[in-house]
Amino acid sequence: MNDIRTTELPTDETRTNEIRRVAVVGAGKMGAGIAEVFARAGLDTVVCEKDRAALRAARGRIDRSLHRAVDRGRIDPAERESSWAHLLFADDPAALADRQLVVEAVVEDEHAKTEVLTTLDKVLVDDGAILATNTSSIPVTRLGIATGRASHVLGLHFFNPAPVMPLVELVSSLHTDRTALRRVEAFARDALGKHVIHSRDRAGFVVNALLVPYLLSAIRMAEAGHATPEDIDAGMVHGCAHPMGPLALADLIGLDTVEAIARSLYDEYKEPLYAPPPLLSRMVEAGLLGRKSGHGFHPHRTS
């Protein structure tokens, strides 16, 4: 594992269309997964968090995930070590000055994301540097106009767990430059090996606009006592061949994240099917967030 990096500004010769210097800001479950994807692709990757304690937690998440990847035969031990060689950690955004692409992956809160993006906008020295948000529901246009480089802000939405799930959603705002969009599409497809789909800048994009109403419907069914969480999930797994039931999936995503996406969808569309059920809101208030807290609709072991 490597120490805090020192900033080295790029020369004109190093500024090419190929994205090699990347960073992730916010290294919770999603951010750590994205950083792992970058490192496993052989990219010079900086992980930035708010303080040393958060960085230690990020290292632990990445380390556990890389060991699981070895145990499950997805990578070999040499690839695990190679991935660590491409990771650097920093608690100062100034360390990201030379990055070509920075992915914001902090909590699904507009104020928090805007604060990070405006800070990064002041730090990056390359006029062609791209700011990507991993938001799952907040309009990218709204986030981009908070910076001075709205043309180089876009949505790059990974799915959990990022090292395993093959999909990314690429979202352009009303301001996003076409060249920047094509550049990130090629990067995600060719460097990361991801399947890229495009979405207009609407709350929920493609996947969550379809998925979240399904999850909310299952929560309403449990709330009404129509069936137990176990039977609801078993019905979709064994009756519809889904790999995971909707309530187990909500626990995996995080009930706080599901609620945040639902609120964003409802704010955008004003349709009742997007409104968070009272049970969901009460569980979030109670800290029953799913896997991340150890209990949601089902009990979980925390790692």
Residues forming the active site: 136, 157, 169, 208
b vs e for 170-204, b when ≥16 Cβ sit within 10 Å of the residue's Cβ? bbbbebbbeebbebbbebbeebbebebeebebebb
Among 210, 247, 213, smallest CA distance to 232 is for: 247
b vs e for 5-38, b when ≥16 Cβ sit within 10 Å of the residue's Cβ? beeeebeeeeeeeebbbbbbbbbbbbbbbbbbbb
DSSP H helical ranges for the chain: 29-40, 52-71, 77-85, 110-123, 140-144, 178-186, 207-223, 229-240, 246-253, 255-269, 278-285
Q: Report the DSSP pairing between strands 153-158 and 167-172.
A: antiparallel
Specify the 3-state DSSP secondary structure of 95.
helix
